[in-house]
Structure 1
Amino acid sequence: MNGGPSGFSNAPVTRAFIVSSTIFTFFLGILGRTSWFGLPYKDIFQKFQLWKLLASFLTFSSTPELAFGLYLLYYFRVFERQIGSNKYSVFILFSTLFSVFLEFAALALSRDPSMILTSGPYGLIFASFIPFYFDIPVSTRFRVYGVRFTDKSFIYLAGLQLLLSSWRRSIIPGICGIVAGALYRLNVLYIRKAKIPASISSFFSWLSWPSTGSPSAPARNVSRSMRSHVGRTVQRDHPSAAASSTEPPEGSISTLVSMGFDRNSARQALVQARNDVNTATNILLEAQSSRSLPGNPLY
């Protein structure tokens, strides 16, 4: 299971976020200053060191947290491709600010001067699990020693590892991020309609390096041009697919339609993918990203 086309194609905001987190974490780690960050009770409610607060959004407190965090951020780039960089930037701001607000509330309620919450973009990462749970379909199921797993299990296990990485210090930020993601999905204050100016999102394309894909293009609803593009892809790669393949199951078509894709495009993608829902999803996302076609947001 992957997050669509390889690299950071049409995901400049994610690329900038990952590059920034890596630089901050390694630079401060070399200096032995990662322990400066996080959300300590005394710094927030007594000193209110704003610069520490801002830096803590990007700095992971340890190398294992950095590894799992970047892996999840890289996978969740699929959501930026689907809704566009303008709306995804709003999702980042909303999930980060709201989760930090909830973390402040948790610190205030605890009244424990020794309590410190871990640093890093936990709000964004765990908020992304909400659309991941609701909008990314399961395409493979298997058993290991009698225990059921799916192709999504590895993402959940990576998230669980990150959630428990520092025990109480990391659990609270993770839960706050999940709550923030749920509020975004519920469209609180109509937040899902908000977007930042295109000039700001395009700045990330210039800021993040090295370039590993084409410039970001806003995602909109799937239209006839996508149907044509997917159809040409099927004819090019599988010229006899339409004639020889069985009709895709109605349930698989409905799954893709519920994600916002056109029914005919979904059917053609399933034919090309030999009825594998996850592969068909990636085909549709790749076609949408590469052609700047209309697409319906996943969330």
Structure 2
Amino acid sequence: MLAIRFDRFGGPEVLTPVDVPAPEPGPGDVLIAVEAAGVNFADVLQADGSYLDASLLPYVPGGEVVGRTPDGRRVLAKATGGYAEWALAKESALVEVPEELDAARALALLTQGLTAWHLLRSAARLRDGESVVVHSAAGGVGSLAVQLAREFGAGRVLAQASTPEKERLALELGADEAVRYPLERRADVILDAAGGALFAHALDSLADFGRLVTYGNASRTAFAALDPGRLGRLNAAVVGFWLRPTLARPGAFAEPLAELFDLTLRGRLRPVAGPSYPLTEARTAHADLLARRTTGKIVLRP
């Protein structure tokens, strides 16, 4: 089968098309014929060595797929080796996907959708009427967080994005305003995956009892040490969030995903489908993601 593999760490150039045997299912595994594989920033971090130990090389990335099981079910799955024509997933990690939901939108609801849902519900614990600032508001997580914040009762949803085009997309998705720092009014909740200067601006922009939720460091800038005394003076909190351990909690996976499917099929949530690349162009997909040339969910198609 065709797969994308890397045998050393580095940038997009390490991603190489190879011909390898299809994976062999073990106990509890299901072999999936891949319709589309999602591309995530975590895949970039795997390729550059931030997430993986060298002992795991060579490695086929790709943690999420839409595809068909041998018995004909169309499923969305947390998978291993998704950048390939065939991938493996645990039966317990499969969710059936309605035929009317295209692969890109379904994939957007898995990692990005669940991240946005838990950022607002589990980490920020958003309350009715509160103001929310979403960084990277046209990205995979941000575009969904803008919409879900409104759905979950936010009073005002403010979008921060890197270009006027991305700001316009966030406004189309329901943001009340596109903002730059410093903010005119302090915010109750700020969602940040960028780190660096944006994190520092956000921390200084929290209202009393505000929550700054950090869930990434796309700027690749070292975080400064947080002084608890400063948080006390701000009367605010910094909340860290990571999806992987969150999904191990009871009720944290299937139930939120079912809500996201329902909202999408009823037209209340619009997952943004980004560019679709042939599997052999995985290098280009990673390069475009790193250069912030994309919006919405990026997918690879075998």
Q: TM-score range by the shorter chain?
A: under 0.3
Q: Which has the higher helix share?
A: 1
Which structure would you say has the larger RCO, counting Cα contacts within 8 Å and 6 or more residues apart? Answer: 1
Could you tell me the TM-score, scaled by structure 2's length?
0.27
Which structure dedicates a bigger proportion of its chain to strand?
Answer: 2
